[in-house]
Amino acid sequence: MEPSWSLHMLSEILSAFSTEDPDNLRNVLNRVAESVDAEVAAILCAGQIDWCIGLSEADQTHLVQQAQQQPTDIQIRSGALHTCWAPMGRRDVLFVGRLGERFDLEERALLRAMARSIELSIKMLRAVSSERQARKDAYQQATHDALTGLPNRRMVLDRLRSAIDHPVGDESLVTAVLFIDIDRFKWINDAHGHAAGDQLLIHVSRILKDAVRHGDLVGRLSGDEFIVITRTSDRNAASELARRIIAAIRQPLRVAGSELSHTVSIGISFAHAGDNPSSVLENADMAMYRAKALGRGRYASFHSSMRLQAQQRLSLEEALGHAVGNGEITTHLQPLFRLSDNTLSGFEALVRWQHPQLGLLLPGAFLEQAEDSGLIQDIDMTVFEAACSAIAQWQQIAGLEHLRLSSNLSARSLADPRVKERIKVILETTGIQPTNVYLEITETTLVEDIESTVSTINALRALNVRLAIDDFGTGYSSLLYLKRFPVGVLKIDRSFVNGLGMNPEDEVIATTIVSLARALELEVVAEGVENQMQLERIRELGGDYGQGYLFGRTLSIGDTERSFIAPRRPTAALLTTP
Ligand code: C2E
Ligand code: CA
Ligand code: CA
């Protein structure tokens, strides 16, 4: 057996097997037979006719039956077939010579040797391909995200680096990075379970893949953060892509039995020659933060001024940890007016952070961090307690006995089993009238993790406090809870109040909410009433209460006392005389 010949065969076999063609074995065996120059009439492999030439059906059947005994000669009708038995791994291969032709010794040796080499080759091939697969798997794992199959952070950075280092010839093309973050993903995950969260992630990854062009890269950085790397001829094209992605993801998706519509916030940055890939990502991340701060569901492009803000945000997170204990978390109040007679009916407590360096911060600047870090429960209770103790005192004043307090409760507070006890203690120690206490939760909060939510809600029911549904109309509505839970108030989100008298859609939504509230015997508070026209319209529609700049802005407890309470004290006249 010449070595070159054997090598040649081996390469034939390898190439035949690597194509994963079901006819491979047959082809290989044929090649084997051809290569030994033997006149082969048939090849049996594992007891089955694999290939045959010029044998009748009856002879083939006879051949198969005889083959089990591994004979050297088989008698068929037209004469004797001489065979060569060649074991090949677990398969038994029988080469059958042409009628009357014997395989000579050399041919037999070659056929057996070839069969063995095929067996070896198959083994080798399996080993090689399983090793190759393992290496491929390892590479896939190291560079891709298991859930969505998208390139991971490492590969995103690699690709970004090569895009920066090897710009394509065309000078006019720039590399744009889109940093895409699903809004309120934490909530979706908590409320609908991780399986639903995963489904959403996969959904978003598909939309992104559909939105980009061939050659662009879509990756997943971590959690709900995705990246698109694209080459564009002008900066507007990147914004256009961001707009398309936002619009596509906004389309409702059925998750865990309910229709959810989602938004993403996108930050855009551009890579320049010599840039560090990580900082290009960071820039896009900062721009994404800006998009969120502007109200989510939109995009923003990076600007160098954002770096400073990002540093502030980081230190903000640290400082928030101390703020609660340091008494920097303060409670402000915004008045609520009854529309029928324009009288003060109560206040909503709104948190403020008196930051030692940055001054008075609004909730938008720190609530998300508070939720993420789990400080929100403490903040909610701090605000609630301060508001209760102020209002409990004011309820002592003649004519203000029914002063209401509305205080916000975050999803995490509602799900925290310790919170109900803290609320109970606060109600008792401050002595506020519980029936005039409303805890505001957003409609999305209610459907969240129903088990822990229900336990808190039942405790609140037992305490005689009531629920107000905040930002009604903006969330994931399930009207069932309005009946099932002790809900007393619906608050029409200010985005709808804003368009009253001008925008027909807002009119329809506000009208629907009011009639829904009527049917369920709930009161309606219109939020964000800023002008007389809105006030008139909400009155006409039948709203019960109004809140907004028209009635009064948010003030500290002290300022609230001076502006709204002092004038109503019986002794007001005395106090105001110099
Ligand atoms: P919200 O509960 O919907 O509170 C109403 C927000 O609208 C307040 O913003 C208020 O200042 C603002 N607002 C009131 N009237 C008007 C108006 O006429 N026009 C406009 N444009 N805005 C008006 P703020 O204080 O920045 O609070 C923002 C959000 O932060 C609140 O929205 C609430 O969801 C959350 N929040 C505030 N305090 C707390 C708290 O103690 N705990 C929790 N969990 N969330 C809170
Ligand atoms: Ca509220
Ligand atoms: Ca609200």
Nearest ligand to residue 547 Cα:
1
**Inside any domain, residue 396:** yes
Q: Which of 320, 329, 333, 350 has most ligand 1 atoms within 8 Å of CB, for mutation? A: 350
Nearest ligand to residue 377 Cα:
1
Same domain as 169, residue 138? no
Same domain as 161, residue 47? no
Domain CATH code at residue 164: 3.30.70.270
**Inside any domain, residue 225:** yes
The CB of 408 under 6 Å from ligand 1? The reply is: yes
Helices (H), 475-571: 480-484, 494-498, 504-519, 532-541, 557-560
Tokens of 567: 């004038």
Higher pLDDT, 24 or 333: 333
Structural domain range at position 557:
319-576
The CB of 549 under 6 Å from ligand 1? The reply is: yes
Nearest ligand to residue 528 Cα:
1
Q: Tell me what pLDDT residue 512 has.
A: 77
Yes or no: say if 333 and 554 are a contact pair by the CB < 8 Å rule.
Answer: yes
Domain CATH code at residue 78: 3.30.450.40
Q: Could you tell me the distance, in angstroms and rounded to a whole number, from the CA of residue 334 to the centre of ligand 1?
A: 9
**Inside any domain, residue 386:** yes
- Whether the per-residue pLDDT at 1 is higher than 70: the answer is no
Closest ligand 1 atom to Cα of 442: 34
Same domain as 367, residue 348? yes
3-state secondary structure 256-304: CCEEECCCEEEEEEEECCCCCHHHHHHHHHHHHHHHHHCCCCCEEECCC
Same domain as 363, residue 237? no
The CB of 560 under 6 Å from ligand 1? The reply is: no
The CB of 83 under 6 Å from ligand 1? The reply is: no
Give the integer Cα–Cα distance in Å for 320 and 374. Answer: 11
Q: Could you tell me the distance, in angstroms and rounded to a whole number, from the CA of residue 410 to the centre of ligand 2?
A: 10
**Inside any domain, residue 147:** no
- pTM attached to this predicted model: 0.57
Nearest ligand to residue 332 Cα:
1
- Whether the per-residue pLDDT at 22 is higher than 60: the answer is no
Q: Could you tell me the distance, in angstroms and rounded to a whole number, from the CA of residue 149 to the centre of ligand 3?
A: 39
**Inside any domain, residue 313:** no
Instruction: Label residues 137-172 b or e (16+ Cβ within 10 Å = b).
Output: eeebeebbbeebebbbbebbbebbbebbeebeeeee
The CB of 383 under 6 Å from ligand 1? The reply is: yes
Among 117, 142, 167, the domain boundary falls at: 142
**Inside any domain, residue 314:** no
- Whether the per-residue pLDDT at 564 is higher than 90: the answer is yes
Q: Tell me what pLDDT residue 401 has.
A: 95
* Residue pLDDT, tens place only, 204-215: 999 999 999 988
Same domain as 244, residue 342? no
The strand pair at 79-88 and 225-232 is best described as unpaired
Q: Could you tell me the distance, in angstroms and rounded to a whole number, from the CA of residue 491 to the centre of ligand 3?
A: 6
Among 262, 277, 303, the domain boundary falls at: 303
Same domain as 125, residue 23? yes
Q: Tell me what pLDDT residue 24 has.
A: 67
Q: Residue 495 half-sphere exposure, CB side, CA atoms within 13 Å?
A: 9
User: Scanning the structure block, which residue is given the tokens 């855009």?
Assistant: 268
- Whether the per-residue pLDDT at 3 is higher than 70: the answer is no
Q: Tell me what pLDDT residue 506 has.
A: 77
Give mean pLDDT, residues 242-246. Answer: 96
- Whether the per-residue pLDDT at 9 is higher than 70: the answer is no
What's the structural domain count of the chain? 3
Closest ligand 1 atom to Cα of 530: 18
Give the integer Cα–Cα distance in Å for 545 and 241. Answer: 43
Q: Which of 336, 383, 408 has most ligand 1 atoms within 8 Å of CB, for mutation? A: 408
Closest ligand 1 atom to Cα of 493: 3
The listed range with the strongest mean pLDDT (134-143, 148-157, 371-380) is 148-157
Q: Could you tell me the distance, in angstroms and rounded to a whole number, from the CA of residue 188 to the centre of ligand 2?
A: 20
Q: Could you tell me the distance, in angstroms and rounded to a whole number, from the CA of residue 523 to the centre of ligand 3?
A: 15
Q: Could you tell me the distance, in angstroms and rounded to a whole number, from the CA of residue 408 to the centre of ligand 2?
A: 5
Same domain as 371, residue 334? yes
Q: Tell me what pLDDT residue 328 has.
A: 96
Same domain as 551, residue 443? yes
The CB of 378 under 6 Å from ligand 1? The reply is: no
Give the integer Cα–Cα distance in Å for 123 and 127. Answer: 6
pLDDT band at 6 (very low <50, low <70, confident <90, very high): very low
The strand pair at 299-301 and 329-338 is best described as unpaired
The strand pair at 258-260 and 253-255 is best described as antiparallel
Give the integer Cα–Cα distance in Å for 8 and 424. Answer: 86
- Whether the per-residue pLDDT at 340 is higher than 50: the answer is yes
Among 243, 277, 303, the domain boundary falls at: 303
Q: Could you tell me the distance, in angstroms and rounded to a whole number, from the CA of residue 493 to the centre of ligand 3?
A: 6
- Mean residue pLDDT of the chain comes to 85
Closest ligand 1 atom to Cα of 350: 38
Nearest ligand to residue 334 Cα:
1
Q: Could you tell me the distance, in angstroms and rounded to a whole number, from the CA of residue 85 to the centre of ligand 2?
A: 87
Q: How many C-beta atoms lie closer than 10 Å to residue 534's C-beta?
A: 24
Give mean pLDDT, residues 403-414. Answer: 94
Higher pLDDT, 447 or 488: 488
Domain CATH code at residue 435: 3.20.20.450
Higher pLDDT, 356 or 474: 356
The CB of 204 under 6 Å from ligand 1? The reply is: no
* Residue pLDDT, tens place only, 119-141: 766 666 666 677 778 888 888 88
Same domain as 329, residue 291? no
Q: Could you tell me the distance, in angstroms and rounded to a whole number, from the CA of residue 410 to the centre of ligand 3?
A: 12
pLDDT band at 51 (very low <50, low <70, confident <90, very high): confident
Closest ligand 1 atom to Cα of 362: 26
Q: Tell me what pLDDT residue 278 has.
A: 94
Q: Could you tell me the distance, in angstroms and rounded to a whole number, from the CA of residue 251 to the centre of ligand 2?
A: 27
- Whether the per-residue pLDDT at 396 is higher than 90: the answer is yes
Q: How far, CA to CA in Å, does 203 sit from each of 9, 21, 147, 246?
A: 49, 35, 11, 13
Yes or no: say if 440 and 383 are a contact pair by the CB < 8 Å rule.
Answer: no
* Residue pLDDT, tens place only, 518-558: 877 889 999 999 999 999 999 999 999 999 999 999 999 99
Q: Could you tell me the distance, in angstroms and rounded to a whole number, from the CA of residue 350 to the centre of ligand 1?
A: 6
The CB of 295 under 6 Å from ligand 1? The reply is: no
Same domain as 157, residue 137? no
Instruction: Label residues 241-270 b or e (16+ Cβ within 10 Å = b).
Output: bbeebbeebeeebebeeeebebbbbbbbbb
Nearest ligand to residue 438 Cα:
2
Same domain as 172, residue 125? no
The CB of 107 under 6 Å from ligand 1? The reply is: no
**Inside any domain, residue 346:** yes
Same domain as 272, residue 129? no
**Inside any domain, residue 312:** no
